[in-house]
Amino acid sequence: MIPVQDMDAEIKKIQQGDSLFRERFLEACRPFVFKSACKFAKRILEWGRDDELAIALIAFNEAIDRFRADYGVPFLPYARKVINSRLIDHYRREKRKAGINMQLPLSEDGMNNAEIAAAWDNYREDVIAREREEEIKEYEKLLQEYGVSFVDLVSCSPRHRKTRRSLIRVAWELAEAGSLYEKFSASKKLPLLELEKQTGVSRKTLERGRKYIIATAILIYRREDFLHLASYLKLPAPSLREDLR
């Protein structure tokens, strides 16, 4: 899974010419590229066999170079749009449009560069807004299964930075705990005893932050399904968890 974090600094570093960091970043994001390409192709692809994956990786690298923080959209949703547009171009060229229902106004056919840029901007703004709205609705519906609402999140959000970081660490531990998260997902109840033993955070703190932990753990576990929400919240990545202790 991709990390949940603010990627602006990483992208800026790459755009400034750090080729080694680019290679590491591309390798870390290969699962995201793979999932995006497979979702678009509506089948499981294989590296080294399917052209879609090579095209998607090239498109992701292109997105790194083209991305600007002032776009007003997180990098990963933006990259996904670039991947989709390049795959559509690929299917057009190969005359394999059958079964692909998605329409995109970004095409080189009969359009000059200015028109292509304008079409991309209009498309990006429209689709990103729609995706963001759909994510919020899906996340809200998912939270309701655990007895948590958006109103609850406003009231239960930790005011103190130290408490917030501690609860985020607990959420990471739960989201990456495998069988423990499966137990939590099935019962819809926070496994307080196990989390207390695993994280060292007191039962009292866990109980007070229960709804916040639930909402955060779900978002972390499903972060590839909620790219906009996860990116805007800028949750620390797993590599930063030691700093949260």
> Within this chain, do residues 87 and 19 fall inside the same structural domain, yes or no?
yes
Residue 109 lies in a domain: no
Residues 159 and 237 reside in one and the same domain: yes
Mean pLDDT of the chain: 80
Question: Is 59 a member of any domain?
Answer: yes
16 with 95, same domain: the answer is: yes
Q: Cα separation of 57 and 27, whole Å?
A: 10
Confidence of residue 9 (pLDDT cuts 50, 70, 90): confident
Q: Is residue 119 part of a domain?
A: no
- Cβ(8)–Cβ(73) under 8 Å? no
Each residue of 164-214: pLDDT tens digit? 889 999 999 999 888 899 999 999 999 999 999 999 999 999 999 999 999
Q: Is the pLDDT of residue 13 over 70?
A: yes
d(Cα 216, Cα 219) in Å, to the nearest integer? 5
Predicted confidence at residue 164, as pLDDT, reads 87
Predicted local confidence at residue 64, as pLDDT = 92
Q: List own/partner pairs for 150-156 with CB under 8 A and 24 or more apart.
A: 152/211, 153/211, 153/212, 153/215, 156/209, 156/210, 156/211, 156/212
Q: Kindly state whether residue 113 falls inside one of the protein's structural domains.
A: no
Query: Is 125 contained in some domain?
Result: no
Domain boundary among 72, 104, 136: 104
pTM of the model: 0.60
What's the pLDDT score for residue 132?
82
In a domain, 129, yes or no: no
Q: Which domain holds residue 71?
A: 8-104
Rounded Cα distance between 239 and 216, Å, is 17
Q: What's the number of domains the chain is made of?
A: 2
Q: Are residues 99 and 155 in the same domain?
A: no
pLDDT at position 235 over 70: no
Q: Are 169 and 199 in contact (CB under 8 A)?
A: yes
78, HSE (Cβ side, Cα atoms, 13 Å): 20
